[in-house]
Structure 1
Amino acid sequence: MFKFVVLVALVACAVAEHHASSYASFNNHVEHSDQLGDHHEPHHHPKYEYKYGVEDHHTHDIKSAEEERDGDVVKGWYKLEQPDGRTRIVHYTADKHNGFNADVKYSGHADHSHHY
C-alpha cells in the first residue's frame, strides 16, 4: 500500500510540474507578444439557448429552466417546487457592467406537513 501511495504522489507531482511549466511557457509567450505589440486574443462570441425541465410527481422533483446568452449578456429564469409546497420563480440577468441580478418570487403557501 505504501508503494502505491508513493507512486500516486510522484505521478501527481509530475503532472503538477508539467502543468506549471506549460502555464509558465504560455505566460512567457503572452508577455513576449505584449511587448512586441502583437497580442491577439481569439475573437469568440459565445451564444447559446438552453431549456430544461423535469416533472416527477412521485418524487416531487418538479422544475424547469431557460437561459440564453449573447456575448457577455446572460438572461434566464428557473422555477422549482420546494419541499414546503411553495413554488420559487427566479428571473435573472448577468453582464459585465451590472453583474448578476436576480428577482426571486414565491407562489403558494408553505405547508410544513409534507415529508418527502
Structure 2
Amino acid sequence: MDEEAITIRLTRDQAFVLSDWLYQVMFRSNDLEGIVHDRAVWSPIYAISGALDKTLSEIFIPDYGPQLEAAKERLRANLYGEAYESTAPGDHAAGAPQAHQIGRGTAGIHGESDQGR
C-alpha cells in the first residue's frame, strides 16, 4: 500500500475550531469511542490532532475562549453567508444549510484558502 502523505489545507480559524473540537471529544469528554466506532479511524484523528497542536499558537493564548468564539463566528458567517445571525452556543440559525447538505466533493472548497500560508 502506498504511504504517500496527504496535505490538508485549513484556514487558521478552521484549524483552531477543529483543534478545540477534537480536544473536547478526545480528552475532555473521553467519548471518542462513542463517536467513532471503528478504532482504525482513531489513527488519523490522533495524527490530525497532534499536527494541529504543534502548529497552532492559538491554543496557548490567554483569551482563548473569546478568540475561539470569534473564530467560530467568522466560520459561520463564511459558511452561511453574511446574513448569519449569532445564536446561543450549540444553536443553529433557522433555515441555515446543514453541513450534511454540502456535497462530499465540495465541502473542502469552502475552506480552501491561501490566507496565512
| TM-score normalized by the length of structure 1 | 0.21
TM (norm. structure 2) is 0.21
Q: If each structure's strand is expressed as a fraction of its own residues, which one has the higher value?
A: 1
Q: Which one has a bigger Cα radius of gyration?
A: 1
Q: Relative to total residues, which structure has the larger helix share, 1 or 2?
A: 2
